[in-house]
Amino acid sequence: MDSLIAASARALAAGDALGALKHVALRDDPPALALRGIAMAQLGELLRARELLRRAARGFGAHEALARARCVVAEAEVALAERDIGGSSRALTAALATLEAHADRANALQARLIAARRLLLLGRLEEAETALAQLDTRGLSASLAAVAELTIAELALRSLRMEPARQALARAHEAAHQARVPALLAEVADVQATLDRPAARRLCADGEQALRLDEVTALLGPASHTLVVDACRRGIGAGIGIGVGAAWQSLARRPILFSLARALAEAWPQEVGREALIACAFRTHDPDESHRARLRVEIGRLRALVATLAQIEATPRGFLLKPRDGRSVAVLLPPIDGEQASLVALLSDGAAWSTSALALALDASQRTVQRALAELEAEGRVRSIGRARTQRWLSPPLAEFTTILLLPATLPME
């Protein structure tokens, strides 16, 4: 390694991208291309960064497998920043095997972190937890340890495990302070700030209340005496925590049943008239006998699904929700209004998302996401960048809200 390459690498490790570029800006050899790519990524020029990293990987010879693997990992991190999460992970897996074979623990850990962060974006929390359980940060650099702890903290926040989240954030802050990288310190501070921002809204008979993450945890926890219709995860449960056990019924793929459950919960302890339920579930204000017959069928299905949690009693005018064990009822709403709340929250993280990546993260079809994006664009809530296959989407930042989703909620399906 020559002196200019070494100086550029030291500058990058300290977070000085411009300083790193000064040493290698005019060079086109593979090590210089790799460093230029990483520097451009730190400066936010992600497309240019990926191009440089690919050129660097192609430039390394067959006997330089370790250098190529490092380039693959760096490009995978840039792809994650671009929210390009729809591609195959085979290249990253192969690079990880090469790094471990050459005992490059630091870059192997980086590869594992990238894989775990991708799983978090996709909402696959159990798989992300398994991936993070394999990490060993002992003896590694402070900056890499900070990234690892931030990832662990995000998993804990997404799983509503507040105490582990706070502990991981404390460790991340200590590591970032030791690393003295301003970007890392800012990221830790931003995640810590989410603890004090509204994460959801509680709607009950007493009105609406903004909830922080710890208050959401208490509402959903085993000690809670509340039947919750959860519009964040689109389900209904009582004392459920974050799990999906016997006390939780997911309605994410059954939007009509969820609409009925939410309407009944919002009216509790009062009944809801049949015409109001038909308008809510079937989107019509001129019901006929077929709508009334369909309402009876759907209410029967909902009654069977929630039988262990509540009764749904017929009244002369409509239907009434009666939770078991004397529980109260609350509706948990996302902090952002509208059916596309999860979509807006994803877009507000400061990154530009492709339609395919949004569909993956929300577990919805691309057609559903495209339709939702068109509505949001018409309202001025999102904007597109690029054209056709390069089109990506952004939303204004929502600094007053926690944009870490409790869990990605499937968009309403037809």
Of 195, 212, 229, the domain-final residue: 195
Full residue range of the structural domain in which residue 323 is found = 200-333
The reply to whether 126 and 265 lie within a common domain is no
pTM over 0.75: yes
Both 216 and 249 in a single domain? Answer: yes
Same structural domain, 25 and 163 = yes
Q: Apex CA 350: angle with CA 69 and CA 92, to 5°?
A: 15
User: What CA–CA distance (Å, rounded) separates 137 from 335?
Assistant: 35
Residue 215 lies in a domain: yes
Domain holding 159: CATH number? 1.25.40.10
Blockwise average pLDDT, block size 10, the chain, 414 residues: 85 86 90 93 88 93 90 92 80 93 91 91 86 83 90 89 92 91 86 85 83 88 87 81 61 90 93 93 86 93 92 94 90 78 74 80 82 84 69 60 45 42
Q: Is 356 domain-assigned?
A: no
C-alpha Rg value of the chain to the nearest Å: 25
**329, β-bridge pairs:** 227
> What whole-number distance in Å separates Cα of residue 4 and Cα of residue 316?
83
Number of structural domains found in the chain: 2
Pairing verdict, β 328-333 and 226-230: parallel
Cβ atoms 373, 395 nearer than 8 A:
no
